[in-house]
Amino acid sequence: MGMTVTEKILARHAGRSSVQAGENVWVHVDVLMTHDVCGPGTIGVFKEHFGPTAKVWDRERVVIIPDHYIFTADSKAHRNVDILRDFVREQGIKYYYDPDFIQGEGMPNPYKDPTQTKYKGVCHKALPEEGHVRPGEVLLGTDSHTCTAGAFGQFATGIGNTDAGFVLGTGKLWLKVPPTMRFVFRGEIPPYLTAKDLILAVIGKISVSGATYRCMYFAGDGIASLSLEDRMTLTNMAIEAGGKNGVCDVDEKTLRYVKARSNRPDWEVFKDDPDATFIETYEWDLAKLEPLVAKPHSPDNTDTARNCKDVKADRVYIGSCTGGKITDMIFAAAILNGQKVKVPTFVVPGSTEVHADMLKLNVRGEPKAAAEKSIMDVLAEAGCTIGPSGCAACLGGPADTFGRLNEPLVCVSTTNRNFPGRMGHKEAGVYLASPLTAAASAITGKITDPREYVSGRIPTGSAGLV
Ligand code: SF4
C-alpha cells in the first residue's frame, strides 16, 4: 500500500520499509529543540531518570533557543536562562543561542545591533535560519508550534518535557503514526490574501479539534505559489486544529533555502506515493477566498474581515512565529507606507535576523539604497512601536512584557492563539488576522478588509528566499 510523506519519514526513522497510520514505532530523532520555558523542566526529567552525570545522546543534535520570557525583569525568567547556560556548559551543547544581554537582575537592555548578539529570537523562526531544519528529517521540540518546520517537508511536532527528557538520553521516541488529511488550494494566491487567511479557512472549516493527532498536508498549486515563509504560517497553525504535524511538498524554493542554510548534508526528500491514503480531502479555490479573522476566543471562530468592519480595535500586534517573519513585515509595511496608525500598533520581529532585515531592506524586500527608507523606517514613521525580537506578548508573559494586553482591550493580532488570557488580560478580545488585515486595521482603528488598501501584487523581493 502506498505511503504519505509523513509515513515514509517515520518508516525511515524507525528502520522499517513501511509503516501504516495508527501503528506505534520507535523513531530515531534528528534534532531535539528546547527553549527557556520547557528547557529547565526537560533537563530536570533527564537528570532524574538518566542520573546527575548522564550525557545527552548527541550534543550536536540538541538545539537550545531561549525566546519566550527574555525582555522582562522577572527573576524566575532569568533563572531559567541560567539553568540552560549551566546545562550547555556541562554537556558541551554545540547549538545554543544565548541572550547575552541578560546579565544580572532587572530588565535587560535589548541588543543594540541585531547582528551582534548570539540571541536569535523565536525558536521556530530561528531553527530554519540557523540550518536545523531539513526535508525528510524528524524534529521534535518542547513547544507545540514545532510543527512549523513541516513547511520544509519534514516531520516536526511538539512534545512534552517528559518525552523530551527521554529523547535527550536516548535520541529516540515511541510515536504513533498519524493518518493524513489533505488540504488542497487551487490557483495563485491573490495579493490581498496571505497564508494566514488560508489556515484560518481550514481551522474554521474543521474546528480546533478537527485534525486531532492527524497530519495536515497542504497541497495544490495555491501552496506552490506561496513563499516558503508563508508556508510556515500554514504548518505553524496545524496545532490550532489539533494536528500532530503539518507538511508541505518540497520544491525548488525549499531546496534553495535549505541548501544555503543547513549544517548537515545527509537529508532526503520524500514524496507521497500515487496511491497514498488520505483520510479526508478538502479543497478551496483561492480566487473565491476572502480575508478572514478568527474572533475571540478561539481560532475556529472565523468570519470574513468584511463582516467585522464595525469592530473597533484598541490595539494592533504584528509579531510571533506566525506573523513576525520578514515577509509579514513587508506585507504590513506595504499597507502602512505613507500612512499613520490610528491605534497603538506594536511590532515584534520574529527573529534577530528579521530585525536586521527590517533595517537593511526596503519595502519591496530588496537591499535599500542610501536614500531609501527601510522597512523599519516605514513602520516607525507610520507610528508603530517596534520592540526587540522574541515571543513578547504572543503568550502574555510577565506584566512588563512588550505589547502585553494588561487591560481588557480589543487587539487585532498576527499571532496564532486567541483563547482567554493568551495575550495577557483574561477579558481582552483578540482577533487573529493576517499582517495585511492587521496593518489595514491599524490605519482605521477598526477591523478592515485589506482589499481597501491593496491594489496589486506586493513584491517581497529577495526577502526570506535563502
Ligand atoms: S511566538 Fe508565540 S506561538 Fe510562537 S513560540 Fe513564541 S509564544 Fe509560542
Note whether 360 and 255 are same-domain residues: no
Instruction: Tell me which residue has its CA closest to atom 4 in ligand 1.
Output: 321
Does a cis peptide bond (omega within 30 degrees of 0) precede residue 355? Answer: no
Please report the sign of the dihedral spanned by the C-alpha atoms of residue 183, residue 188, residue 193, residue 196.
positive
Q: Within a domain: residue 460? A: no
Instruction: Tell me which residue has its CA closest to atom 6 in ligand 1.
Output: 391
| Residue 373 · residue 278 · CB < 8 Å | no
Note whether 316 and 278 are same-domain residues: no
C-alpha cell belonging to residue 159: 512534545
**Residues near ligand 1 (Cβ within 6 A):** 68, 122, 124, 143, 145, 320-321, 391, 394-395, 415-416
pLDDT digits (tens, 9 = 90+) for 37-87: 999 999 999 999 999 999 999 999 999 999 999 999 999 999 999 999 999
Extended strands (E) in 77-144: 95-96, 138-141
Of 282, 303, 331, which marks where a domain is finished? 282
Note whether 317 and 433 are same-domain residues: yes
In this prediction, residue 432 carries a pLDDT of: 99
Pocket test for ligand 1, best of 35, 68, 325 (most atoms within 8 A of CB): 68
Number of folded domains that form the chain? 2
Q: Within a domain: residue 464? A: no
C-alpha 228 to ligand 1 mean position (Å): 19
C-alpha 53 to ligand 1 mean position (Å): 32
Q: How many residues does the chain have?
A: 466
Distance of CA 450 to the CA centre of its chain: 22
In this prediction, residue 328 carries a pLDDT of: 98
Q: Within a domain: residue 222? A: yes
Note whether 277 and 297 are same-domain residues: no
Q: What is the 3-state secondary structure of 166-200?
A: HHHHHCEEEEECCCEEEEEEECCCCCCCCHHHHHH
pLDDT digits (tens, 9 = 90+) for 298-327: 999 999 999 999 999 999 999 999 999 999
Cα–Cα dist 188/230, whole Å = 13
C-alpha 276 to ligand 1 mean position (Å): 33
Under the banding of pLDDT at 50, 70 and 90, the label for residue 362 is very high
Note whether 277 and 337 are same-domain residues: no
Q: Which residues pair with 184 in a beta bridge?
A: 219, 283
Question: How large a percentage of the chain has pLDDT more than 70?
Answer: 100
Amino acid type, 202:
V
Q: Domain range spanning residue 77?
A: 5-282
Q: Compute and round to an integer the Cα radius of gyration of the chain.
A: 21
Angle at CA of residue 290, ends 288 and 294, nearest 5°: 140
Note whether 297 and 278 are same-domain residues: no
C-alpha 395 to ligand 1 mean position (Å): 7
Of 282, 317, 341, which marks where a domain is finished? 282
For residues 32-36, give the mean pLDDT: 98
For residues 18-27, give the mean pLDDT: 98
For residues 19-23, give the mean pLDDT: 98
Of 282, 300, 324, which marks where a domain is finished? 282
Note whether 256 and 303 are same-domain residues: no
In this prediction, residue 97 carries a pLDDT of: 98
C-alpha 421 to ligand 1 mean position (Å): 14
C-alpha 25 to ligand 1 mean position (Å): 29
pLDDT at 188 over 90: yes
pLDDT digits (tens, 9 = 90+) for 199-255: 999 999 999 999 999 999 999 999 999 999 999 999 999 999 999 999 999 999 999
C-alpha 122 to ligand 1 mean position (Å): 7
In this prediction, residue 241 carries a pLDDT of: 98
Shortest-distance atom of ligand 1 to CA 123:
5
Instruction: Tell me which residue has its CA closest to atom 2 in ligand 1.
Output: 394
C-alpha 158 to ligand 1 mean position (Å): 12
Q: Crossing angle, helix 195-206 and helix 228-236, to 10 degrees?
A: 20
Note whether 45 and 165 are same-domain residues: yes
Note whether 98 and 219 are same-domain residues: yes
Q: Within a domain: residue 339? A: yes
Q: Within a domain: residue 458? A: no
Extended strands (E) in 29-166: 31-34, 62-64, 95-96, 138-141, 155-158
Shortest-distance atom of ligand 1 to CA 417:
3
State which H helix or E strand residue 126 sits in: helix 123-129
| Residue 227 · residue 327 · CB < 8 Å | yes
In this prediction, residue 458 carries a pLDDT of: 98
Note whether 198 and 307 are same-domain residues: no
Global pTM? 0.98
Backbone angles phi, psi at 12, to 5 degrees: -60, -40
DSSP 1-42: ----HHHHHHHHHTT-S---TT-EEEEE-SEEEE-TTTHHHH
For residues 339-351, give the mean pLDDT: 98
Cα distances (Å, whole numbers) of residue 94 to 60, 128, 360: 5, 16, 29
Q: Within a domain: residue 302? A: yes
Note whether 83 and 29 are same-domain residues: yes
Pocket test for ligand 1, best of 34, 320, 416, 417 (most atoms within 8 A of CB): 320
Q: Residue 404 is part of a domain; what is its CATH number?
A: 3.30.499.10
In this prediction, residue 1 carries a pLDDT of: 86
Q: Within a domain: residue 119? A: yes
Cell 515571543 -> residue: 391
Q: Within a domain: residue 332? A: yes
pLDDT digits (tens, 9 = 90+) for 130-171: 999 999 999 999 999 999 999 999 999 999 999 999 999 999
Under the banding of pLDDT at 50, 70 and 90, the label for residue 114 is very high
Note whether 344 and 210 are same-domain residues: no
